[in-house]
């Protein structure tokens, strides 16, 4: 792997350290129904994936425990997963073997993928590269890796969630506490409450502009609402009540060319 930028060094350390905490959810996601994001929205509702991916070459950028890769493989795709954390990849490899799913797993950064141009028909990221990589680096990589007509699918935090995140790292508030136009990079390493890594986002128009400048056409954009439930329940620093009233997650399907 060539030299990593500072945010990737920090995020790699964090994810190797946290990998054990993600084993149980990875096992559940590998075994259970296909659900997206923090609120577990069923793929049958969201419809981000075609039913049949026979013969499709797919890559998951920041695959983690690789359950999304498993969904693609079960639809017939030949799937490669890349992740910066060796310990996350170890879980992914074990679960792939246990579930008899054939995946190619690569240890590396989604900002510098060691694979040829025009290698894939589908690139996907659920809270992987889309959250942990700089969009100025991983989006051009996704465009480079995709063949003309290929699709990019991602699901990540909605930028509104960033602007409602208090500076001390506590749970979301119903006020705007950060500038919307500066959501590109968040450093959570020094916050008081549960310090984290360095992550990235864009304003909604920023996603449109960056994707179209790379030759993508946005086919679908979903602002996700949490399903009904206890409004006080908190997932990933988000009260469900907040995520009922405001979009907490964003999902995009874009076609190259």
Ligand X SMILES: C[S@@+](CC[C@H](N)C(=O)[O-])C[C@H]1O[C@@H](n2cnc3c(N)ncnc32)[C@H](O)[C@@H]1O
Q: CB of 156 within 8 A of CB of 127?
A: yes
Q: Is 82 in the site for ligand X (CB under 6 A)?
A: yes
Minimum gap (Å) between residue 109 Cβ and ligand X: 4
Q: CB of 230 within 8 A of CB of 214?
A: no
Q: Is 79 in the site for ligand X (CB under 6 A)?
A: no
Q: Which range touches ligand X (CB under 6 A), out of 8-16, 200-208, 213-221, 234-242?
A: 8-16
Q: Is 250 in the site for ligand X (CB under 6 A)?
A: no
- Crossing angle of the two packed helices 67-74 and 23-31, in degrees rounded to 10: 20
Minimum gap (Å) between residue 14 Cβ and ligand X: 8
CA–CA gap between residue 131 and residue 162 (Å, rounded): 12
110 or 224: whose CB is closer to ligand X? 110
31 or 54: whose CB is closer to ligand X? 31
Count other C-beta atoms under 10 Å from residue 167's C-beta.
Answer: 9
49 or 110: whose CB is closer to ligand X? 110
Select the residue interacting with ligand X from 15, 36, 71, 200 (CB under 6 A): 15
Strand partners, 120: 146
Reported as half-sphere exposure (CB side, CA atoms, 13 A), residue 243 has a value of 33
Q: Which range touches ligand X (CB under 6 A), out of 38-46, 79-87, 142-150, 182-190?
A: 79-87
* Best CA proximity match to 236, nearest among 162, 134, 182: 162
19: which DSSP letter?
G
Select the residue interacting with ligand X from 53, 58, 68, 250 (CB under 6 A): 68
Q: Is 65 in the site for ligand X (CB under 6 A)?
A: yes
Minimum gap (Å) between residue 175 Cβ and ligand X: 27
Strands (E), 21-145: 35-36, 41-42, 57-61, 78-83, 103-107, 120-126
109 or 165: whose CB is closer to ligand X? 109
Q: Is 216 in the site for ligand X (CB under 6 A)?
A: no
The pair of structure tokens assigned to 162 is: 């960033």
CA–CA gap between residue 202 and residue 207 (Å, rounded): 6
Q: Is 73 in the site for ligand X (CB under 6 A)?
A: no
Minimum gap (Å) between residue 26 Cβ and ligand X: 6
Binding site for ligand X (CB under 6 A): 8, 11, 15, 22, 26, 62-65, 68, 82-85, 88, 109-111, 126-129, 132-133
């Amino acid at each position: 792997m060539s030299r990593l930028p500072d945010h990737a060094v920090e995020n790699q350390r964090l994810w190797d350290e946290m990998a054990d905490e993600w084993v149980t959810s990875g096992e559940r996601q590998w075994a259970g129904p296909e659900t997206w994001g923090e609120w577990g929205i069923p793929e049958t509702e969201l419809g981000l994936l075609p039913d049949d991916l026979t013969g499709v070459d797919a890559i998951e950028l920041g695959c983690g425990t690789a359950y999304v890769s498993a969904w693609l493989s079960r639809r017939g795709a030949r799937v490669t997963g890349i992740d910066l954390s060796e310990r996350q990849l170890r879980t992914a490899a074990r679960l792939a073997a246990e579930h008899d799913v054939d995946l190619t797993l690569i240890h590396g950064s989604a900002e510098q993928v060691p694979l040829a141009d025009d290698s894939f028909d589908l690139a996907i990221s659920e809270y992987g590269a889309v959250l942990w990589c700089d969009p100025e680096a991983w989006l051009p990589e996704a465009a480079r890796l995709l063949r003309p007509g290929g699709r990019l699918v991602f699901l990540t935090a909605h930028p509104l969630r960033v602007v409602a995140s208090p500076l001390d790292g506590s749970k979301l508030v119903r006020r705007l506490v950060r500038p919307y136009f500066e959501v590109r990079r968040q450093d959570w390493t020094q916050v008081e409450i549960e310090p984290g890594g360095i992550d990235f986002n864009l304003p909604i128009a920023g996603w449109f502009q960056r994707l179209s400048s790379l030759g993508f056409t946005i086919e679908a954009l979903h602002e996700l609402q949490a399903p009904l439930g206890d409004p006080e329940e908190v997932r990933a620093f988000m009260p469900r009540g907040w995520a009922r009233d405001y979009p907490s997650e964003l999902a995009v399907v874009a076609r190259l060319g």
